[in-house]
Structure 1
């Protein structure tokens, strides 16, 4: 700091009082003040004799000055020193500016990239949104069409039944009216005949209008009403359930893939761990190391959904397995090994079969698990089928034939083995 101040003071001492710059060819007057030769010469031209010092106003008899080589040397040194410092300062400034410019360019490039990526994401979201809206509209349109057709059919059936009953009653009413006229005519004829008899006139019994007697028309109005006063929404829902695409697939367990300690129900929709190993034939389809089993039907196109009842089970593995997955060795159930699974441990610890396991925060326990396989999109999704809450989905699902996968897992010591059951309806 002191050096900087001394340099500044020296520069001031070597500055011309006329042009306020460093001396150029400095000369000294008799009063010992210094000026640039050109500056003092020009100044004295503008004044009348006697000439004087521009700084102290001392007058001189003549225009006399002498070159001061010492001051000239100092000026050269100061000018050289200032020039070197300026160069260094400019170099530092230039580097700082260059670094700052590069930094700003880098920031700009990153912003340009992010803007491009955001625009691509926006376009992608719009495309996906349009596709999803089309799918949602199509699915609801199918339901609307089904409900509309059911309503039209039911209304037409109702109108037909009503028309048949009304037409029957109208015909019966017309017949009754005709019969009534005949009876009234017979009554009048008989009255006239009775009057003749009272007057002691012998008369023959008149010929009366005779028709077969009409019976009361039996129409069960209560049955007509009760047929329509029914759990209509539930009835229609049961019919609509058969048309859902995809609806719960009527899967069955494939006993040829079952681990020997698994026991199947007669209808092949329920499986439970057994203490007794069953006799089995050795084949590449069968699981031998883990208590796993597949469904009989595999999928490699379309979309498919199925539900599994896991009530009271404290541990299980569910999902999808490639047809080519290794079933003879004990492997981790993850996509790298051909498995896309969701698992439960200790009754409340849910996790996804990834490397490593991905824990899930499931707030409410589930009694039914829904599995959705979209072969066209290569996606596997898991739902809490009690409320259809999405639990997890794999975006990179199987790209070849895959089978529904199930494992009731080995039961804990002292605990009763619990069965898992494939559901064919949501009830």
Structure 2
């Protein structure tokens, strides 16, 4: 039906151009003061003959049967209800947060669109040997949540080390995260999932719980249901629950991201915030190339 409508739109657009041309010539004729020239132009342009346009095909009335439309509408509503009960990945509250440059650790690099965070490629000084799971190297999202339900996704692909979670508004966004959030996942104001070379840990308040994950997570989904006080992490591709925290706090919650360090060139991949592009941009060659390489 969409393809048929596109074809009909091209026909109608051609007809509109022809009508516009007819209107233009008619206006010029109305301004003609010489009667003889007026009649000559009407004759030469065949304006006395009626215009003939190809008829527009009618939409198949079988597809527009009111009873069938009501049935489809009811099925769509039932499907939406079923999905909302079992899966958090509902576009109605899918969030697409932006990273906050002001809160990024100096050794991190953010993309211009604030959707990706990298480990900045810098050699370590003599005597320095940081661990890949150091929680200093973090960046906050610009927006915070104080109520309702919020869901966002982070593309991790084959990245061997990363930490992703949330932290409360007690973090001073004006201060460097090297000081304010160095305890990510090991205090009572932050919750996160840590991935280290195939192992997954749920971290909060000095407690670590190893998670049983059969298939490697390539896209992590985070659902913050602040009405119920729940924070859940999912394998977003399979919509499989990895772990849920009970979150009871009165301060705003900020998504927080730690790409972890890279020492030997094996952890250079970025953490990428997933977002849905406008559908009218999908068909351009540049956008297709970007989608193929990013999402």
| TM-score of the pair, normalised by structure 2 | 0.57
Mapped contact 1:294–1:404 kept (Cα < 8 A): yes
Cα distance, 1:420 vs. partner? 0.7
- In structure 1, C-alpha distance between the alignment counterparts of 2:255 and 2:54, rounded to whole Å: 57
Larger RCO, structures 1/2 (Cα 8 Å, 6+ apart): 2
The structure 1 residue matched to 2:112, chosen from 256, 263, 266, is: 266
Mapped contact 1:270–1:419 kept (Cα < 8 A): yes
Cα distance, 1:373 vs. partner? 1.0
Where is the strand percentage greater, Structure 1 or Structure 2?
Answer: 2
The structure 1 residue matched to 2:92, chosen from 223, 245, 263, is: 245
- In structure 1, C-alpha distance between the alignment counterparts of 2:156 and 2:135, rounded to whole Å: 22
The structure 1 residue matched to 2:55, chosen from 201, 219, 230, is: 219
Structure with higher Rg: it is: 1
The structure 2 residue matched to 1:303, chosen from 132, 141, 149, is: 149
Q: Partner residue of 2:229?
A: 378
SS in 1 for 2:101: coil
The CA deviation string for residues 117-141 of structure 1, in whole angstroms up to 9 with x for no partner, is xxxxxxxxxxxxxxxxxxxxxxxxx
The structure 1 residue matched to 2:202, chosen from 352, 367, 373, is: 352
- In structure 1, C-alpha distance between the alignment counterparts of 2:151 and 2:196, rounded to whole Å: 24
SS in 1 for 2:103: coil
The structure 2 residue matched to 1:320, chosen from 124, 145, 166, is: 166
The CA deviation string for residues 358-395 of structure 1, in whole angstroms up to 9 with x for no partner, is 00010011111111112222211101111211111002
Where is the helix percentage greater, Structure 1 or Structure 2?
Answer: 1
Whether 1:413 and 2:264 are equivalent positions in the alignment is: yes
SS in 2 for 1:266: coil
Cα distance, 1:415 vs. partner? 2.3
Mapped contact 1:371–1:382 kept (Cα < 8 A): yes
SS in 2 for 1:245: helix
Mapped contact 2:161–2:267 kept (Cα < 8 A): no
- In structure 2, C-alpha distance between the alignment counterparts of 1:352 and 1:394, rounded to whole Å: 9
Q: Partner residue of 2:240?
A: 389
Q: Partner residue of 1:340?
A: 191
Mapped contact 1:325–1:338 kept (Cα < 8 A): no
Mapped contact 1:254–1:294 kept (Cα < 8 A): yes
The CA deviation string for residues 141-178 of structure 1, in whole angstroms up to 9 with x for no partner, is xxxxxxxxxxxxx9xxx9xx9xxx9xxxxxxxxxxxxx
The CA deviation string for residues 17-74 of structure 1, in whole angstroms up to 9 with x for no partner, is xxxxxxxxxxxxxxxxxxxxxxxxxxxxxxxxxxxxxxxxxxxxxxxxxxxxxxxxxx
| TM-score of the pair, normalised by structure 1 | 0.41
- In structure 2, C-alpha distance between the alignment counterparts of 1:321 and 1:330, rounded to whole Å: 8
Q: Partner residue of 2:255?
A: 404
Mapped contact 1:300–1:402 kept (Cα < 8 A): yes
Mapped contact 1:303–1:376 kept (Cα < 8 A): yes
Q: How many residues align?
A: 195
Cα distance, 1:289 vs. partner? 7.2
- In structure 1, C-alpha distance between the alignment counterparts of 2:101 and 2:157, rounded to whole Å: 22
- In structure 1, C-alpha distance between the alignment counterparts of 2:156 and 2:186, rounded to whole Å: 23
Cα distance, 1:401 vs. partner? 1.0
The CA deviation string for residues 187-240 of structure 1, in whole angstroms up to 9 with x for no partner, is xxxxxxxxxxxxxxxxxxxxxxxxx54554323549x79xx9xxxx9xx9xxx9
Mapped contact 2:160–2:267 kept (Cα < 8 A): no
SS in 2 for 1:399: coil
CA RMSD of aligned residues (A): 3.6
**Counterpart mapping for 1:186-205 below 5 A:** none
Cα distance, 1:257 vs. partner? 0.4
